Amino acid sequence: MNLFMDQHVKLGRFLDPLCTEDLGPDLFMLTRPLRYESPLLGDIITAPAGLQTDLDSVPRWLPLVYAVLHGKARAAGAIHDFCYQTHRVGYRDLTRAMADAVIDEAAQATGPGIVPLWALDRWMLWAGVRVGGRRAWESGPRRLVIWDRRSLRRAETRLSHYP
Which of 3, 35, 21, 17 is CA-nearest to residue 100?
A: 3
Q: Is 55 left (phi over 0), alpha (psi -120 to 50) or beta?
A: left
DSSP-assigned letter for residue 53: E
| Helix (H), strand (E) at residue 81 | helix 74-86
pLDDT digits (tens, 9 = 90+) for 75-115: 999 999 999 999 999 889 999 999 999 999 999 999 998 98
- pLDDT score for 59: 66
For residues 3-14, average pLDDT: 67
- pLDDT score for 8: 46
- pLDDT score for 87: 94
Question: Is the pLDDT score of 9 beyond 80?
Answer: no
Please indicate, yes or no, whether the overall pTM of this predicted structure exceeds 0.75.
yes
